């Protein structure tokens, strides 16, 4: 039987993990083992508050941050830590984000360049690249806006993980698991990037 991880092992779950747990699909069985270990105070689980800005399974966006807090609270019998991302207008919830300085934004840009080298870091630049007026979105530009927004949320999730010093970033998103990208993220401070199955493997099977 594998030994339990240390009590202070800290895991950051991405948005896909949250959705799998809510729907009971995908990697839910492995994620439930992590939640059970969190409930037992063997590990700690956190979620980036940037996840509140991502689309819900029905394609809509959360009406307010409290609805996201309720989603997170339903996952576990013990509070799950919500990590505050950098503040972005029209994306972040102001009261649940932090203002970025040069150092903090530099880390975010480094993460973005690793994960999304073909997407511009700033919306204005990305829109201009695709011939879109960044100040006057239209139905035809919505797809690019959502693509950029999704990349921003993924970047902020990893930023939270690194900035707040958690040990294991948990995701089934293949983009995070590409060998060159994973190595680069670890150099930036990600420590470990694991699938839910690999993250849960060291835990006792009776969790």
Confidence of residue 204 (pLDDT cuts 50, 70, 90): low
Confidence of residue 203 (pLDDT cuts 50, 70, 90): confident
Confidence of residue 4 (pLDDT cuts 50, 70, 90): very low
Confidence of residue 57 (pLDDT cuts 50, 70, 90): low
3-state secondary structure of 68: helix
Mean pLDDT confidence for 25-35: 95
Side-chain half-sphere CA neighbours of 148 within 13 A: 22
Write down the domain spans for the chain: 9-200
User: Can you list the alpha helix ranges (DSSP code H) found in the chain?
Assistant: 15-23, 28-39, 65-73, 102-115, 123-129, 142-163, 174-177, 179-185, 196-200
Percent of the chain with pLDDT over 70: 89
Cβ-Cβ contacts under 8 Å for 32 (sequence gap 6 or more): 21
**Phi-psi label, residue 179: left if phi above 0, alpha if psi -120 to 50, beta otherwise:** alpha
Confidence of residue 90 (pLDDT cuts 50, 70, 90): confident
Tokens of 125: 């630049």
Q: What is the pTM of this model?
A: 0.90
């Amino acid at each position: 039987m594998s030994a339990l991880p240390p009590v202070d092992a800290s895991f950051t779950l991405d948005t896909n993990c949250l959705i799998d747990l809510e729907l009971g699909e995908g990697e839910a069985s492995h994620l439930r083992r992590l939640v059970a270990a969190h409930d037992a105070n063997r590990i700690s689980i956190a979620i980036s508050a940037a996840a509140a800005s991502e689309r819900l399974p029905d394609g809509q966006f959360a009406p307010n941050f409290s609805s996201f807090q309720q989603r997170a609270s339903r996952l576990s019998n013990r509070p799950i830590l919500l990590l505050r991302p950098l503040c972005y207008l029209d994306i972040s919830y102001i009261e649940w984000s932090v203002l970025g300085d040069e150092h903090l934004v530099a880390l975010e840009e480094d993460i973005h360049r690793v994960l999304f080298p073909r997407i511009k870091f700033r919306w204005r630049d990305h829109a201009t690249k695709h011939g879109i007026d960044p100040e006057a979105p239209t139905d035809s530009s919505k797809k690019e806006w959502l693509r950029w927004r999704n990349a921003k949320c993924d970047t902020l999730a990893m930023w939270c993980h690194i900035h707040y010093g958690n040990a294991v970033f948990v995701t089934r998103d293949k983009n995070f698991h590409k060998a060159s990208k994973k190595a680069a993220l670890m150099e930036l401070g990600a420590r470990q990037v694991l699938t839910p199955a690999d993250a849960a493997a060291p835990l006792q099977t009776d969790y």
